[in-house]
A and B are shown apart, each in its own frame.
Chain A
Amino acid sequence: MVLTIALYCLVFAMVLTLYRVAKGPTWGDRITALDFLTSNLAVLVVVVALKTGFTDLLDIALLFSILGFLSTVALARYLMNRRVIK
């Protein structure tokens, strides 16, 4: 019951953010929306692990968190000075 309500909240937030990815006027809006999507995906995987009782999904949540942070930092650094590593 609680987990189903939680899944609907998360998926509705992700749908609203997908609109911002498609519409967003500047690239900053798109990077913000992609950061939100990856963070939200990690939370969603944890809720699915709670719902199904399959605890191996928690490693996938940690992996999504790391990948979201690294991709956000790489995109921000690339769009700031056109290269990732100095």
Chain B
Amino acid sequence: MKQSLTLVFLLIPLAFAAEAETAQELTVQSNLIAELLILGGCFFILAAGIGMFRFPDFYTRLHASSKLVTLGGIGVFGGAAFAFLSLAATQRVLLTAVFFLLTAPLSGYMIARAGYLQGLKPYREDNSVDEWQACGAESES
């Protein structure tokens, strides 16, 4: 783990050197709003990755992945919509953002429902409340 971290930090100056050589295209113009939105979205996605690594349970990992990836993806797509100059690129990025906003919570819901119906347990079963079983709902197959 520590060796991979040192490898990542050794690779950072190479990427900045490669960025200096890249010629600036006319299709992208970065501004302050786009940079702030992209940095915020990537912060949330990095937090989701750390949560996937650290959390102890299936349901807590699903919580971190589903919610934080939705918020971070909307942030990055909104920042990209501010940064592109042409209208067609902005429309495509906004279409991707709307699709992402509709489908990311839905896939999280499908995974949680399948996991519950297959009988995956929370890591602290004595403190948790099973509301679905308390309502008396049967598992539909």
Spell out A's residues near B (CB within 8 Å): 1-10, 12-17, 19-20, 26, 28-29, 31-33, 35-36, 39-40, 42-43, 46-47, 49-55, 58-59, 61-62, 65-66, 68-69, 72-73, 76-77, 79-81
Contact = CB atoms under 8 A, between A and B. Distances in A.
Given A4-B15, A8-B15, A32-B65, A47 B25 contact: no
Category for how many chain B residues contact A: 35 or more
B42 A65 contact: no
B45 A40 contact: yes
B65 A58 contact: no
A58 B115 contact: no
Contacts of A55: 27, 84, 86, 88-89, 92
A7 B15 contact: yes
B120 A6 contact: no
Contacts of B24: 53
A42 B76 CA distance: 10
Contacts of B61: 20, 29, 32-33
A10 B43 CA distance: 9
Contact of A69 (B16, B25, B106): B106
A58 B89 contact: yes
B8 A6 contact: no
Given A2-B39, A3-B38, A13-B45, A72 B92 contact: no
Contacts of A59: 92
A26 B52 contact: no
A47 B76 contact: yes
Contacts of A77: 110, 114
A49 B4 contact: no
Contacts of B76: 6, 43, 46-47
Contacts of A3: 19, 38
A43 B25 CA distance: 20
9 contacts: A5-B39, A13-B49, A13-B50, A28-B111, A36-B52, A40-B49, A43-B45, A69-B106, A80-B113
